[in-house]
Structure 1
Amino acid sequence: MMQENKIQAGNTEQVLLSKKNYHRAFKVVSIANPEQGEWLFNWRGKKLSQNLMSCDYAHTAIRISNNEEIVIYDKDLGSWAVTEWKYDVNLEELWKCACDAFSSTSFSPEERGAYYIRTYEEELNADIEKIPEEERERYISKYKEWVQILFNKHSRIMSAMITGPARFPSRRNEKMNNYYDNAVNEFRTWREKALKVISRKIEDAKPKEQKAEEEWTRLKRSIYSSASTIKGINDGTERGYNKALFVSSIYGKVETYTKRGDVIIVEKAIAYVRELNKQSSIITERHKFFKLAEMAKAVCEAQEVRSNKEDTEILFEGGRVIKNYSEDRVQIVFDTKPQPDVISNLKHNGFRWSPRFSAWQRQLTNNAYYAVSRVVPITVEQLMKGGEK
């Protein structure tokens, strides 16, 4: 029994090829002649005509068994069933919503709606390729929710070309445009933050050895790039460059790991530069670069001393400050969500929100104590003494 876009074939329900799904169809089969086997479907594989306003297409299909090619027109879509998709995650359930979104702004709302459906599907499928399996369902659901919001907001926008210029509500239309633009910005902000959080989770889940190896690979590549330019300067093939700047670049990148107490990577970097020095003078042995290993060891020892200290809490009305030695962070935890002006003040003083600790935090330094005193009613002296009154 035929349905809107499905057909019952024996015990299997097949999805008919349609304007809602033809852009993601990969393989199709003829309903009337299933014995011909599967065909590779090429959406808009043949251009029919083109003018300044539009371009008309037909679709092509290539029979897998013998490479026979045929043309499929839109009117014949319902004669084919899809057997395999290019991708499964789609926004087909938002088809009507997408078409309605452009009913007052386009002469071809179906075409415009379909274009946005395809664009969002492409972005969504690209996103989920980078997302772990356990995170995908929630991300897909939220993404679809946002797309529906955008379509609904766009449906309130009008065009005088479509609705007619008589008594056109220009002021109201401007508001609707602004609402839609704001929603798009909110959606983009949500997507960016969501992907960053997921990326951070992926990074945190990696084994320590893998993360260390990846960091070293990135640093080595960066050192090699700067060293290649320095070699060119030495050979006279790179002109107009300042060698000191490239040496400083290498030093600065390795110094970052020194401040973190990453002795292994710093030692690898120094050994690598010495190896490169055999080919051309990259950094002379007199340079302070070669003392970074000693500095890294000193930092590492200081970190060990701090990590053995017990964390200290200092209470204030509405929250507490934590001197977290193991994480090398000073953290502010509020009993309730702080007001916007307080959040602004926190950011202004270098604090960043940590979902992991549910706290506002920054590196544990003497400067951080002064920053805390500018945000909450605790003195620098209290922080220095560890909370003793």
Structure 2
Amino acid sequence: MTETIAHDEIRSQLAASVGGEAQLASWFSNRTFSDLRARAARLLDEAAADAVTMIEKVNRAIDKEGLREWHGSTDADLARRYVRFWAAWQRAGSQTANWMITGPANFPVKRNQKRIATEDRRWEELNAFRTQAPARAIKRAQRIRKAAIGATGMMDSELADLQDRHAERVARQAMMKAVNALIRKHKLAEEGDGPARLAAMAREANHAIGEKLALELLKPDCFGIRGFASFQLSNNNAEIRRLAGRIAQVQAKLARAEAVESGEAENRTRTVGSVEIVENAAEDRLQILFPGKPDGETRYALKRHGFRWSPSQGAWQRQLTNAARYAAEQVVARLPESEA
């Protein structure tokens, strides 16, 4: 993980973006009766801490998804964008006045209400940026990775990850079964050297567990049963089956995409009136191509069925699945006669 930009550095950028701490304090003169300097200082400290927290969340999300190599934004870039949104919010707020101040002064209330509405919009823009930053960073990194390694490369990466997770689950299932068998066979309990014996025997069977876990396993549950619970084995086994099914799906998609890229097969295309439905295996997308811009009702139906417009592909598309094929049929069935 990259080193997160310092709190004090972001605080300095925030202050500079509004003309300094004194200028920020003066903006509160029409909005509060409290100590203006203290209010400004507290606001800067809170905003800087919030920006640091946001950047840390982005980095954790990127590292968790294994996208560090494709992460295009630095911590400084994220900080600058935060500062820009925050400064716009503060400038909008500087134009407003508190109703307790303006009430007796015959202040133009409608104008103040418009300015307050503008301030609210700027806050919503800042809040959307700060809360959506991790998800947007992941999407952007995924797009960069896909552009760099292609659709088949993406599928290769996903397949390798699924196979690793499947292997880990299979090994865990074998370990849980072996440990439970040892507990039953040797009638081990948590007293005395039971945990040490269980850990040693598990290591001899190539299932390394620590004495701390061994002690927890040897403590009987409310039914007096020791070892891994039956629901742990059944849940893990269900995850093994799910991963195996997902591996089979990705392998099938990868085979189709490789066949298309090598020229051994073509994307499946069929025409309904003037509309084309394309199963684009290389992009792993089901695409609907219209001769022109579809009408509002058709666009609504497309979005309702999960299709989104892709300018780069010139098509309405969603991930290539059986559900997508069914959704395409539903959309096409609703097309006006001029397009169907």
Match of 1:302 among 238, 241, 252: 252
Amino acid at match of 2:47: Y
State how far apart, in whole Å, the 2-side matches of 1:364 and 1:92 are: 49
Query: What residue number does 1:149 align with?
Result: 88
Q: 1:167 to 1:298 in 2, by over 3 A?
A: closer
- Post-superposition Cα deviations, 1:350-370, rounded to whole Å, max 9, x if no partner, equal 235679868653232343234
Matched position secondary structure for 1:323: strand
Structure 1 position 137, deviation (Å): 4.8
Q: Provide the TM-score with structure 1 as the length reference.
A: 0.48
State how far apart, in whole Å, the 2-side matches of 1:111 and 1:317 are: 69
Q: Are the aligned partners of 2:25 and 2:39 in contact in 1 as well (CA < 8 Å)? A: yes
Q: Are the aligned partners of 2:166 and 2:240 in contact in 1 as well (CA < 8 Å)? A: no
Q: Are the aligned partners of 1:266 and 1:296 in contact in 2 as well (CA < 8 Å)? A: no
State how far apart, in whole Å, the 2-side matches of 1:91 and 1:293 are: 47
The gaps in structure 2 that reach 5 residues or longer are 1-5, 60-70, 181-227, 260-264
Q: 1:274 to 1:151 in 2, by over 3 A?
A: same
Structure 1 position 377, deviation (Å): 8.5
Q: Are the aligned partners of 2:18 and 2:91 in contact in 1 as well (CA < 8 Å)? A: no
Matched position secondary structure for 2:105: coil
Query: What residue number does 1:244 align with?
Result: none
Amino acid at match of 2:27: A
Structure 1 position 146, deviation (Å): 1.7
Structure 1 position 102, deviation (Å): 1.9
Amino acid at match of 1:303: K
Query: What residue number does 2:101 align with?
Result: 162
Q: How does 1:174-193 map to 2 (within 5 A)?
A: 174-193=113-132
Q: Are the aligned partners of 1:313 and 1:321 in contact in 2 as well (CA < 8 Å)? A: yes
Amino acid at match of 2:91: N
Query: What residue number does 1:93 align with?
Result: 16
State how far apart, in whole Å, the 2-side matches of 1:340 and 1:116 are: 45
Query: What residue number does 1:102 align with?
Result: 28
Query: What residue number does 1:27 align with?
Result: none
Q: How does 1:1-389 map to 2 (within 5 A)?
A: 87-89=8-10, 90-96=13-19, 98-107=24-33, 108-129=35-56, 130=58, 134-163=73-102, 165-202=104-141, 262-278=162-178, 279=180, 280=228, 281=230, 282-283=232-233, 295=245, 298-307=248-257, 308=259, 309-312=265-268, 322-332=278-288, 344-352=300-308, 360-375=316-331
- Post-superposition Cα deviations, 1:117-154, rounded to whole Å, max 9, x if no partner, equal 22222222333454568544543443232222211221
Amino acid at match of 1:276: M
Matched position secondary structure for 2:8: coil
- Post-superposition Cα deviations, 1:23-44, rounded to whole Å, max 9, x if no partner, equal xxxxxxxxxxxxxxxxxxxxxx
Matched position secondary structure for 2:97: coil
Identify the structure with bigger relative contact order (alpha carbons < 8 Å, sequence gap 6+): 2
Name whichever structure is richer in strand by fraction: 1
The gaps in structure 1 that reach 5 residues or longer are 1-84, 216-256, 380-388
State how far apart, in whole Å, the 2-side matches of 1:144 and 1:339 are: 40
Structure 1 position 330, deviation (Å): 1.0
Q: Are the aligned partners of 2:307 and 2:316 in contact in 1 as well (CA < 8 Å)? A: yes
- Post-superposition Cα deviations, 1:217-260, rounded to whole Å, max 9, x if no partner, equal xxxxxxxxxxxxxxxxxxxxxxxxxxxxxxxxxxxxxxxx9xx9
Matched position secondary structure for 1:362: strand
- Post-superposition Cα deviations, 1:316-339, rounded to whole Å, max 9, x if no partner, equal 999965422134321357899988
Query: What residue number does 1:19 align with?
Result: none
Q: Provide the TM-score with structure 2 as the length reference.
A: 0.54
Q: Are the aligned partners of 2:298 and 2:334 in contact in 1 as well (CA < 8 Å)? A: no
The CA RMSD over aligned residues, in Å, is 4.8
Q: 1:302 to 1:167 in 2, by over 3 A?
A: same
State how far apart, in whole Å, the 1-side matches of 2:45 and 2:253 are: 52
Q: Are the aligned partners of 1:263 and 1:300 in contact in 2 as well (CA < 8 Å)? A: no
Name whichever structure is richer in helix by fraction: 2
- Post-superposition Cα deviations, 1:143-168, rounded to whole Å, max 9, x if no partner, equal 23222221122122212433461324
Equivalent pairs, count: 249
Q: 1:156 to 1:369 in 2, by over 3 A?
A: same
Q: 1:289 to 1:372 in 2, by over 3 A?
A: closer
Q: Are the aligned partners of 2:166 and 2:244 in contact in 1 as well (CA < 8 Å)? A: no
Bigger Rg, structure 1 or 2: 1
Query: What residue number does 1:238 align with?
Result: none
State how far apart, in whole Å, the 2-side matches of 1:161 and 1:291 are: 64
State how far apart, in whole Å, the 2-side matches of 1:340 and 1:135 are: 40
State how far apart, in whole Å, the 1-side matches of 2:141 and 2:168 are: 26
State how far apart, in whole Å, the 1-side matches of 2:111 and 2:78 are: 33
Matched position secondary structure for 1:87: helix
